[in-house]
């Protein structure tokens, strides 16, 4: 199936028990057991038909073999890092989401994991940061908030050559714009609260793997840790994903229009947007992305107060956050 068709008919698009074309919300904590050990569902933490529908859908959209839905993007990231142990080392991107850095810096380090921060666009720096204890390379592309773009296939090859995993947060692209698993990555993550949900009415995280055995390990941890997505949110997320292509086409067009407006504004000193031909990451973005994403960051001219821009703009809260971005060292991990 083509991508747009997968959005409607991918995963589980029909309830196998009733034939409903919208998988119902199964609000059940437990399921009746016909025979011991031979039942598809037992306890909703371990498996729920509504959650399974959205998990299979994201696996199809990312061209993966197994998908997993969590209560938040942070819960998804934490579960993935639970694959590893004290003493393990990781190479991470230098512009990861603040919540990811908080998890790493305030939690995972206390458990004995170590991290080296590099600009993952610099492939030599990535290689140099790998040690005998390194277990994975973790990055975002495009990054949050500076929209830096890393060559996914190149980093995946480095990881594969060194016998370690590659993990990419694909939130700022969605599978509509890029599919890292097709470029050799092992694990893809999403904060599904953004493009995938699309309606600002849920918080969710998703994980997809290409390798079935790796997926089984994450599935075990999902059940053991228990940070699962509830049935109501699972249903909302699957419903939202059906319109992803329509929404992304509008998002991409809007971002391009805003970029073309901002580049002619004398009060703006610098724009961070992968679709800018003058952006050093432009060629890499062209190579691996279907469109340039819909996020833009920019700097105001020196001396201007970004609060004035925010307070006088007719924007909803989240766009305001991005509009007032004044890049400085405080945004670096």
Active site residues per annotation: 45, 97, 169, 194
Enumerate the β-bridge partners of residue 300.
Answer: 268
In angstroms, the CA 156 to CA 172 distance is: 19
Q: Where are the alpha helices (DSSP H) in 10-151?
A: 49-61, 73-81, 98-106, 123-129
Asked if 102 and 74 touch (Cβ cutoff 8 Å), the reply is no
298 secondary structure, DSSP code: E
- CA-based nearest residue to 235, from 52, 7, 50: 50
Asked if 177 and 293 touch (Cβ cutoff 8 Å), the reply is yes
Environment class of residue 211 by beta-carbon count within 10 Å: exposed (0-12), middle (13-18) or buried (19+)? Answer: middle
- CA-based nearest residue to 177, from 156, 164, 202, 194: 194
Cα 215 from chain centroid (whole Å): 17
- CA-based nearest residue to 210, from 176, 180, 244: 180
In angstroms, the CA 76 to CA 63 distance is: 19
Element (H, E) at 206: strand 205-209
Written as six digits, the tokens of 195 are 């493009």
**Rg, Å, the chain Cα set:** 20
Environment class of residue 20 by beta-carbon count within 10 Å: exposed (0-12), middle (13-18) or buried (19+)? Answer: exposed
Written as six digits, the tokens of 102 are 């908080």
In angstroms, the CA 147 to CA 168 distance is: 14
């Amino acid at each position: 199936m083509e991508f747009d068709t997968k959005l409607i008919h991918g995963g589980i698009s029909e309830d196998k028990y009733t034939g409903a074309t919208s998988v119902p919300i199964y609000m059940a904590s437990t399921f009746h057991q016909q025979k011991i050990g031979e039942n598809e569902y037992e306890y909703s933490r371990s498996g729920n038909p509504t959650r399974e529908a959205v998990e299979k859908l994201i696996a199809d959209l990312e061209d993966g073999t197994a998908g997993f839905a969590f209560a938040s993007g942070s819960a998804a990231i934490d579960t993935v890092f639970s694959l590893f142990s004290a003493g393990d080392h990781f190479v991470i991107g230098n512009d990861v989401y603040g919540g990811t850095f908080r998890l790493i810096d305030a939690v995972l380090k206390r458990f004995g994991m170590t991290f080296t921060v590099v600009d993952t666009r610099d492939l030599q720096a990535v290689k140099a940061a790998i040690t005998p204890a390194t277990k994975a390379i973790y990055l975002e592309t495009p990054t949050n908030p500076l929209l830096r773009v890393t060559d996914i296939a190149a980093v995946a090859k480095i990881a594969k050559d060194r016998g370690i995993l590659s993990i990419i947060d694909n939130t700022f692209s969605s599978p509509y714009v890029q599919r890292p698993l097709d470029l050799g990555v092992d694990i893809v993550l999403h904060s599904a609260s953004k493009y995938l949900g699309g309606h600002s009415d849920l918080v969710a995280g998703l994980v997809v793997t290409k390798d079935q055995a790796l997926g089984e390990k994450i599935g075990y941890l999902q059940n053991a840790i228990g940070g699962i997505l509830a049935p109501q949110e699972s249903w909302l997320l699957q419903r939202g994903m059906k319109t992803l292509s329509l929404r992304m086409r509008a998002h991409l067009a809007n971002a391009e229009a805003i970029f073309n407006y901002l580049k002619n504004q004398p009060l703006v000193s610098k724009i961070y947007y992968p679709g800018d031909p003058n952006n050093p990451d432009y060629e890499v973005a062209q190579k691996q992305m279907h469109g340039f994403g819909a996020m833009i960051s920019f700097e105001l001219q020196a001396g201007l107060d970004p609060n004035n821009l925010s307070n006088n703009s007719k924007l909803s809260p989240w766009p305001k956050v991005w509009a007032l971005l004044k890049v400085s060292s405080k945004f670096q991990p």
